[in-house]
């Protein structure tokens, strides 16, 4: 039998090869890949790796396209800016003067302040709300300006910021890659601000403020405000609000605690009371009602009305009940001049709302005359923050209270109570209009502002009657405290109850001088004083006029009409 025999040499199989299992494996170095079977890399791995590299390549290509083509011009400009940095050159703000050339706000340079001067303000009190303050440019930690200009934040500094602020310039600074300055040149020179001359007299401004502040401290008033202006052209001689803030502290950036003290002060020192404070006027509105009644023919100047201390109106829903409207005292028979002098409430109740046989002008016409004299609207003074105020009407009551108007509302409005709200600047302008036969001036604190006046179409004879009544108030009436030898004054006082309990009052006085040839009108309000206090706004004005007789007599002497 034939058998196949291999030609390969025979190899003897060792016993340990036969018995090799997991318990007697050779001592392979697995970390060196000994004893491992080698297999080829799969095609899927090659494809995945290729896709990854292709994605990375496309990403870099797209980014390069964006940087060089899409945003190339923009980034080139940024690179140029980093090499050529534009730095502001700050203009000097204009100096602010009073009408006599006294510096009220100016600039002061310091050796360690290379970029801009600091703003400085007159140290005497009374000017903060008038002048305002500024916010300085600010840098970040790297020396770059994130706020790159002066900004007026209140008062004249804000209203006339574009005038006194000027126009900042630009310096181009060339730097190297390490940020070191190579050269710098002024590319656009700055234009300094224009000086500004105000109409105020710094002496009167300071004195009026001190008088208001002193009385507030001694008599317990929350605050106060005062205005004095020219009855012919509207120039403001003084405009003060108490309390006030420290303008330099706010400009320089005081501590958080100091700023918080202003914010939390119940007296609201940030409020410019002279133009933005709204107050119940009380009896200072009576001259306007007198003019309206004369113009409507509901009474003549010599017609007398009896004041027994009150009038009573039957309740329309229950005839057994009556509503009583009181006078502050029984004045007896009074005609218009005396009614203004003694401030008879009953007289003005009757000529406003009517009573028995006496006809009244009614609430609609009453409100119309108030608005003709500027109550209920801004005066247009060249300062921001002016309030308009409120003249109560049936439409106003319906909107606010959803309640119909009643005759008692007319009576209360006639004596400046109820929802009536006015500002001191409005009151001063009304006093000026009474003094100048019905010219409603637009108040202005800058002498560069042109006059802007309006005429109230009432007979000059009516204004003469009201002026005579206000002069009688000085001689025999409620304003006798202003009967001083240095100047002849005409005035009207007012006391307005405030608050639910009526324990606090606003004390008012308005008027003008010299009586023979009126040139200056004024209004002073002392805010929320104790009801039992007998010293108020009249005292402030007496003190001011007595001081002016010595320090600024030129304002008190009779002057020819222009």
Res 320: pLDDT: 77
In angstroms, the CA 510 to CA 427 distance is 7
> What would the two tokens of residue 390 be?
């409120």
pLDDT computed for residue 558 by the predictor: 75
**Residues with Cβ within 8 Å of residue 445, at least 6 apart in sequence:** 130, 156, 198, 199, 200, 236, 239, 381, 382, 383
pLDDT at 4: 46
Report the alpha-carbon distance of residue 442 to residue 463 in Å, rounded. 19
Distances (CA, A) of 20 to 14, 17, 24, 25, 256: 10, 5, 6, 7, 87
Q: Which two tokens stand for residue 243?
A: 């309390």
Helix (H) or strand (E) holding 495: strand 490-498
Say whether pLDDT at 125 is over 60: yes
Query: Which two structure tokens, joined as six digits, stand for 203?
Result: 């002496």
Cα separation of the two ends of the chain = 159
Task: Name the strands in the sheet holding 103-108, side by side, starting at the edge strand that comes first in the sequence.
Answer: 118-121, 103-108, 96-97, 196-197
**Rounded to an integer, what distance in angstroms lies between the CA atom of residue 315 and that of residue 321?**
5
Q: What angle do CA 533, 534, 539 make, to 5 degrees?
A: 120
Task: Give SS3 for 403.
Answer: coil
Is residue 3 over pLDDT 90? no
pLDDT at position 258 is: 81
Mind listing the pLDDT tens digit for each residue in 146-198? 667 789 999 999 999 999 999 988 877 666 655 566 666 656 788 999 999 99
Distances (CA, A) of 502 to 15, 286, 417: 122, 21, 12
The proportion of the chain whose per-residue pLDDT surpasses 90, expressed as a percent, equals 65
Q: Are strands 454-455 and 439-440 parallel, antiparallel or unpaired?
A: antiparallel
Q: In this structure, are residues 135 and 151 in contact, taking their beta carbons and an 8 Å threshold?
A: yes
Q: Return the closest-CA partner of residue 134 out of 87, 193, 86, 88.
A: 193
Return the pLDDT at 396.
95
pLDDT at 55: 80
Provide mean pLDDT across the span 129-137: 93
Which residues, in sequence order, are bridge partners of residue 407? Answer: none
* Residue 275 phi, psi (nearest 5): -120, -20
Q: Which residues contact 71 (CB under 8 A, 6 or more apart)?
A: none
Angle, helix 286-296 to helix 362-372, in steps of 10 degrees: 120
pLDDT at 527 over 60: yes
How far apart are the C-alpha atoms of 434 and 518, rounded to whole Å? 10
Distance CA 202, CA 552 (A): 11
Share of the chain above pLDDT 70, in %: 83
- Most confident segment among 63-77, 86-100, 110-124, 388-402: 388-402
SS3 428: helix
pLDDT tens-digit map of 351-362: 999 999 999 999
Average pLDDT (414-433) is 96
> How far, CA to CA in Å, does 401 sit from each of 75, 394, 418, 500?
63, 10, 13, 17
Q: Could you give the CA distance from residue 437 to residue 433 in angstroms, rounded to a whole number?
A: 6
Q: What is the pLDDT of residue 525?
A: 98
Neighbours of 150 (CB within 10 A): 25
Quote the pLDDT of residue 134.
Answer: 94
**Among 33-37, 302-306, 528-532, the range of highest mean pLDDT:** 302-306
pLDDT at 411 over 70: yes
Residue 2 has pLDDT above 80, yes or no: no
Domain spanning 202-555: CATH 3.40.710.10: yes
Q: What is the pLDDT, as a whole number, of residue 562?
A: 44
| Residue scoring higher pLDDT (43 or 516) | 516
Alpha helices in 72-174 (DSSP H): 72-83, 128-131, 155-159, 161-164
- Residue 396 CA to residue 390 CA, distance in Å, equals 9
What are the residue ranges of helices labelled H in 97-186?
A: 128-131, 155-159, 161-164
For the chain, what are the domain ranges? Answer: 85-197, 202-555
The pLDDT of residue 509 is above 70? yes
pLDDT at 241: 98
The whole-number pLDDT of residue 1 equals 46
Neighbouring C-alpha atoms within 13 Å toward the C-beta of 231: 29
SS3 113: coil
**Residue 480 per-residue DSSP state:** G
* 349 pLDDT higher than 90: yes
- Same topology for domains 85-197 and 202-555, yes or no? no
Q: What is the mean pLDDT of the chain?
A: 87
Query: In this predicted model, what pLDDT tens digit does every residue of 242-287 receive, in sequence order?
Result: 999 999 989 887 677 888 888 889 899 999 999 999 999 999 999 9
Flag whether pLDDT at 120 surpasses 80.
yes
Range of lowest pLDDT (15-24, 191-200, 261-270, 499-508): 15-24
User: CATH code for 85-197?
Assistant: 3.90.1310.10
H or E stretch at 171? strand 169-175
Label residue 70 exposed, middle or buried (CB < 10 Å: 0-12, 13-18, 19+): exposed
pLDDT band, very low/low/confident/very high, at 71 (cuts 50, 70, 90): low
d(C-alpha 283, C-alpha 343), whole Å: 7
| Predicted pLDDT of residue 190 | 87
Q: What tokens appear for 457 in the block?
A: 């179409």
What is the Cα 480 distance to its own chain's centre?
35
């Amino acid at each position: 039998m034939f058998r196949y025999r291999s030609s390969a040499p025979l190899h003897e199989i060792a016993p340990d090869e036969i018995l090799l299992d997991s318990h007697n494996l050779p001592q392979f170095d697995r970390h060196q890949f000994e004893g491992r079977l080698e297999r080829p890399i799969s095609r899927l791995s090659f494809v995945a790796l290729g896709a990854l590299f292709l994605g990375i390549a496309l990403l870099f290509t797209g980014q390069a396209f964006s940087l060089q083509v899409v945003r190339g011009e923009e980034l080139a400009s940024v690179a140029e800016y980093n090499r050529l940095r534009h730095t502001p050159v700050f203009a000097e703000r204009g100096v602010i003067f009073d009408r006599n050339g006294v510096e009220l706000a100016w600039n002061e340079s310091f050796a360690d302040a290379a970029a801009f001067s600091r703003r400085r303000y007159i140290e005497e009190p009374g000017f903060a709300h008038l002048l305002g303050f500024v916010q300085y440019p600010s840098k970040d930690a790297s020396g770059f300006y994130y706020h790159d200009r002066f900004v007026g934040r209140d008062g004249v500094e804000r209203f006339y910021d574009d005038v006194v602020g000027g126009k900042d310039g630009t310096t181009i600074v060339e730097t190297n890659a390490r940020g070191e300055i190579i050269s710098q040149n002024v590319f656009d020179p700055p234009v300094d601000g224009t000086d500004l001359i105000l109409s105020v007299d710094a002496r009167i401004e300071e004195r009026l403020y001190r008088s208001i502040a002193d009385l507030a401290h001694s008599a317990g008033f929350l605050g106060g405000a005062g205005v004095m202006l020219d009855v012919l052209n509207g120039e403001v001689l003084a405009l003060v609000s108490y309390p006030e803030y420290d303008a330099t502290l706010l400009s320089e950036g005081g501590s958080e605690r100091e700023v918080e003290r202003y914010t939390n002060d119940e007296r609201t020192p940030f409020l410019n009371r002279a133009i933005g404070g709204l107050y119940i006027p009380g009896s200072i509105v009576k001259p306007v009602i007198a003019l309206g009644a004369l113009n409507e023919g509901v009474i003549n100047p010599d017609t007398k009305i009896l004041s027994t201390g009150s009038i009573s109106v039957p309740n329309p829903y229950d005839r057994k009940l009556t509503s009583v409207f009181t006078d502050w005292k029984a004045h007896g028979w009074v005609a218009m001049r005396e009614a203004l002098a003694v401030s008879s409430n009953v007289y003005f109740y009757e000529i406003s709302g009517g009573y028995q046989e006496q006809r009244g002008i009614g609430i609609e016409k009453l409100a119309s005359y108030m608005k003709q004299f500027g109550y209920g609207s801004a005066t247009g003074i060249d300062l921001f923050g002016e309030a308009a105020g409120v003249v109560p009407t049936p439409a106003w009551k319906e909107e606010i209270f959803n309640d119909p108007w009643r005759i008692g509302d007319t009576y209360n409005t006639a004596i400046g109570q109820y929802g009536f709200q006015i500002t001191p600047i409005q009151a001063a302008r009304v006093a000026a209009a009474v003094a100048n036969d019905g010219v409603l001036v637009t108040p202005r604190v800058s002498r560069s502002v042109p006059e802007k006046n309006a005429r109230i179409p009432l007979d000059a004879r009516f204004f003469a009657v009201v002026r005579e009544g206000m002069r009688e108030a000085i001689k025999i009436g409620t304003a006798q405290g202003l009967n001083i030898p240095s100047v002849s004054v005409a005035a009207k006082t007012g006391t307005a109850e405030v608050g639910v309990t009526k324990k606090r009052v606003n004390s008012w006085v308005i008027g003008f001088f010299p009586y023979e040839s009126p040139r200056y009108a004024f209004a002073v309000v002392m805010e929320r004083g104790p009801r039992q206090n007998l010293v108020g706004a009249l005292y402030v004005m007496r003190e001011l006029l007595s001081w002016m007789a010595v320090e600024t007599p030129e304002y008190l002497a009779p002057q020819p009409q222009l």
